Structure 1
Amino acid sequence: MLEYEYQELRFPRGTSRSAARQALTEHAEYGRWELARVRVYMDGSRRVTLRRRIIRQPRLM
């Protein structure tokens, strides 16, 4: 079964699309995060949820 860890980013109203894209690109390239969900609120702010797989090493006896 796959396990994921999650990270949430919030972008306030007025954040440009290019600035948000740049921040998400950096998380994806360097932290190996992938986009899980984007919620856009009525006031224009965004909440972005990122996820990445947790890789567990089997124990050696």
Structure 2
Amino acid sequence: MDTAGDYEFAPLRIPPGTSRSAAATMLSLQSDVGGWELARLQLHADGTRKVILRRRARLSYLPKPVI
């Protein structure tokens, strides 16, 4: 089983008013380009999405997410 030390994490905030499809596209691009995967997604009442992305620590030479 993997431990948290094997991963690096990147917190992101997607502003309210961003459509569901636009948010999915943003996260899909991060996955394709940077090797990130979705660890946690929280949708708040005001429409803000708080996202935690993770990837294996050995992929740290890849770029950080940009949203």
Pair in the same fold by TM > 0.5 = yes
Number of equivalenced pairs: 56
TM-score by length of 1: 0.81
Amino acid at match of 2:31: A
CA–CA distance in structure 1, aligned partners of residues 47 and 32 of structure 2: 26
Residue of structure 1 equivalent to 2:21: 18
Identity across the alignment (%): 49
What is the TM-score with the length of structure 2 in the denominator?
A: 0.75
Q: CA deviation at 1:44?
A: 1.2
**Bigger radius of gyration among the two:** 1
Q: Give, in angstroms, the shift of residue 9 of structure 1.
A: 1.4
C-alpha distance in 1, partners of 2:25/2:36?
13
* Matched letter for residue 19 of structure 1: A
SS in 2 for 1:42: coil
Name the residue aligned to 2:31. Answer: 28
Structure 1: 4+ residue segments shifted above 4 A: none
Query: Over aligned residue pairs, what C-alpha RMSD do you find?
Result: 1.7
For the residue of structure 1 that corresponds to 2:18, the secondary structure is: coil
Match of 2:54 in 1: 51
More helix per residue: 2
